[in-house]
């Protein structure tokens, strides 16, 4: 029998009575069943009570540095166990490189929040946000803002592409803020999240109730939330819209953040012609974004905006690099790109490519043909990288359709203004980049892209050696984008900790404010 995935709720591991009839999750590489997922019978009221009655009070007793110390210890504990995570991560289709992105990346975020807590937060449970403002002429009446922990829960609904990072990047700020988390992983890769949560619980480092895990449906959890609770959702824009519209979420003004799909773009500067380091950087970055995690990154480059006269040169250079990409079993020697998370996900990508192809021609790859190393293409979710060219830049498809896989569309532009306007047609994205050695181009593009993007990377020969790349969100920087990208803001250092707290304006005499602030 396939192993039923368990949930960790109210201090114990829970297996649904109908586990055998749950959703079967298959190995992305072999198609063999890995786990069966069901949450039938889980009492979401008890889950919430445990979080608010047990986990929250225990966390809020700790000062910020004490919570930071927990995060540091947890990061160290998980780091020791990475080989186990990599091994299971292969079953999600990930290569070792991809797994490090997910696993080490997630642990790195925990460490980063441990550092923020230790360095930037007071030895207290309350966070003064600003210095006192004088409110009276004589100096006897002042006001300042304090951030206090909310006595609610942080519900974290994650997408399937980063089963470890996705959880840890949300967990870190919530723990530091003193708020207990209820994690709901996406079903296709929940088995990896469950393994990590098992270790977190076994470590005994977190106070009981600080972390609960629901594998499978969250049932009526959202209908039970209240004004002190928050939901952080990562996934498709369609699901995000639906959940954000939940009557209780709206009625109780539950803080609801959405990190949704996004048609990220990368602009090649007009100066970055073939033969310049910037041209090579652009092409290398595009291929990296297409192939890391088999393109299943919310920040991956979906639209490559290049000067119209350079479209052919870019396609040739990308083709030369993609020739080196070896698709196949991620544990096999020489394989550089693994599988998508499952056959259903591959079918979604194939459908999206067919829609993109209505307004563009496919110049590299065939979404229906793949010859993976050491794997059966009918059982494993493999897909060869696909590059399209939109000859008519006015076509809507590349700006509307997200193919969540190793797929990108090259679009020619006539002027920098035109490139900025094309970028905005994505209706809001998480990440963008401009590759140029011309500071004036960088200035114009950054100012033009700013309103529509959560992050803009300016890449040139000087920053390249240390650049973290187009697709990597950083713990200290904003991760989130306007419009289609969901309008959310995850990460971003202290801001994301404060997201879980209530900021209150306190007024009184300077001595009283001094006393309540410390």
Residues 6 or more apart whose CB falls under 8 angstroms from that of 275 comprise: none
CA distance 286 to 456: 15
Could you say which of 194, 298, 402, 490 is catalytic?
A: 298
Site string (119-158) toward ligand NAP, x via CB under 6 A: --------------------------------------xx
Residues 212-231 binding ligand NAP (CB under 6 A) are 218
Nearer Cβ to ligand NAP (184/453): 184
Taking the complex as a whole, how short is the minimal distance between the CB of residue 176 and ligand NAP, in angstroms?
Answer: 20
Tokens at 173, concatenated? 């700020």
353 binds ligand NAP (CB under 6 A): no
Taking the complex as a whole, how short is the minimal distance between the CB of residue 258 and ligand NAP, in angstroms?
Answer: 8
Nearer Cβ to ligand NAP (290/298): 298
CA distance 235 to 242: 11
CA distance 261 to 416: 25
Our answer to whether residue 259 is catalytic in this structure is yes
Nearer Cβ to ligand NAP (22/412): 22
- Kindly give the interhelix angle for 82-89 and 64-80, rounded to the nearest 10 degrees: 60
Taking the complex as a whole, how short is the minimal distance between the CB of residue 41 and ligand NAP, in angstroms?
Answer: 16
Could you say which of 194, 259, 289, 490 is catalytic?
A: 259
Q: Specify the stretch interacting with ligand NAP by CB under 6 A; choose among 53-61, 68-76, 184-192, 509-517.
A: 184-192
User: Residue 178 region, left (φ>0) first, then alpha (ψ -120 to 50), else beta?
Assistant: left
CA distance 39 to 240: 21
48 binds ligand NAP (CB under 6 A): no
Among 2, 15, 125, 236, binds ligand NAP (CB under 6 A): 236
Chain residue whose CB lies nearest ligand NAP: 235
Measured in degrees and rounded to the nearest 5, phi and psi for residue 136 equal -130, 160
160 binds ligand NAP (CB under 6 A): yes
Taking the complex as a whole, how short is the minimal distance between the CB of residue 241 and ligand NAP, in angstroms?
Answer: 10
Site string (422-441) toward ligand NAP, x via CB under 6 A: --------x-----------
Residues 385-414 binding ligand NAP (CB under 6 A) are 402, 404
Nearer Cβ to ligand NAP (102/261): 261
Task: Give CA 109 to chain center in angstroms.
Answer: 12
CA distance 404 to 408: 10
Residues 6 or more apart whose CB falls under 8 angstroms from that of 213 comprise: 7, 8, 9, 182, 183, 184, 185, 193, 194, 197
Site string (293-332) toward ligand NAP, x via CB under 6 A: -----x----------------------------------
CA distance 280 to 286: 10
Closest residue by Cα to residue 4 from 25, 17, 28, 20: 20
Q: Is 44 helix (H, G, I), strand (E, B) or coil?
A: helix
Our answer to whether residue 215 is catalytic in this structure is no
Which residues pair with residue 429 across a beta bridge? 453
DSSP 3: P
Of the chain, the end-to-end C-alpha distance in Å amounts to 57
Q: Is 441 helix (H, G, I), strand (E, B) or coil?
A: helix
Catalytic residues: 259, 298
Binding region for ligand NAP (CB under 6 A): 157-161, 184, 186-187, 218, 234-236, 239, 243, 259-262, 298, 402, 404, 430
């Amino acid at each position: 029998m396939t192993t039923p995935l368990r949930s960790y709720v109210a201090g114990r591991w829970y297996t649904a009575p109908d586990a055998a009839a749950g959703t079967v999750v298959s190995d992305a590489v072999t198609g063999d069943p890995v786990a069966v997922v069901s949450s039938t019978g889980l009492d979401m009221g008890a889950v919430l009570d445990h979080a608010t009655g047990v986990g929250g009070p225990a966390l809020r007793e700790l000062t910020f540095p004490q919570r930071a110390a927990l995060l540091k210890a947890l990061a160290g504990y998980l780091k020791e166990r990475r080989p186990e995570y990599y091994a299971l991560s292969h079953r999600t289709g990930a290569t070792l490189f991809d797994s490090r992105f997910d696993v080490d990346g997630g642990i790195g975020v925990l460490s980063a929040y441990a550092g923020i807590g230790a360095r930037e937060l007071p030895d207290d449970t309350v966070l003064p946000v600003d210095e006192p403002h004088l409110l009276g002429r004589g100096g006897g009446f002042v006001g300042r803002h304090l951030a206090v922990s909310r006595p609610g829960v942080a519900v974290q609904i994650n997408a399937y592409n980063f089963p470890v990072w996705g959880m840890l990047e949300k967990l870190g700020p919530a723990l530091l803020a003193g708020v207990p988390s209820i994690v709901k992983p996406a079903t296709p890769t929940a088995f990896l999240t469950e393994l990590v949560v098992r270790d977190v619980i076994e470590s005994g480092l977190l106070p009981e109730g600080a972390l609960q895990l629901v594998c499978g449906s969250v049932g009526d959890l959202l209908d039970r939330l209240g004004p002190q609770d928050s939901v952080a959702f990562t996934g498709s824009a369609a699901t995000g819209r639906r959940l954000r519209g939940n009557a209780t979420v709206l009625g109780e003004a539950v803080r609801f953040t959405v990190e949704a799909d996004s048609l990220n773009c990368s602009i090649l500067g007009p100066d970055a012609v073939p033969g310049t380091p910037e041209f090579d950087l652009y092409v290398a970055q595009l291929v990296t974004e297409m192939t890391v995690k088999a393109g299943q990154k919310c920040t991956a480059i979906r639209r490559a905006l290049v000067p119209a006269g350079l479209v052919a040169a870019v396609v040739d250079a990308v083709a030369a690099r993609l020739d080196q990409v070896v698709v196949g079993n991620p544990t096999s020697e020489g394989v550089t790109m693994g599988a998508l998370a499952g056959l259903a996900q591959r079918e979604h990508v194939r459908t999206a490519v067919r829609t993109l192809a209505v307004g563009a021609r496919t110049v590299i790859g065939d979404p229906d043909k793949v010859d993976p190393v050491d794997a059966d293409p009918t059982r494993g979710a493999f897909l060869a990288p696909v590059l399209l060219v939109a000859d008519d830049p006015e076509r809507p498809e590349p700006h509307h359709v997200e193919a969540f896989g190793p797929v990108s569309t090259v679009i020619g532009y006539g002027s920098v203004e035109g490139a900025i306007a094309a970028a905005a047609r994505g209706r809001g994205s998480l990440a963008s980049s401009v590759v140029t050695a011309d500071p004036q181009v960088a200035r114009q593009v950054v100012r033009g892209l700013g309103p529509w993007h959560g992050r803009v990377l300016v890449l040139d020969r000087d920053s390249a050696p240390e650049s973290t790349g187009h697709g990597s969100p950083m713990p200290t920087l904003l991760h989130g984008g306007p419009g289609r990208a969901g309008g959310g803001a995850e990460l971003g250092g202290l801001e994301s900790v404060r997201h879980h707290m209530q900021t209150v304006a306190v007024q009184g005499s300077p001595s009283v404010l001094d006393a309540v602030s410390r």
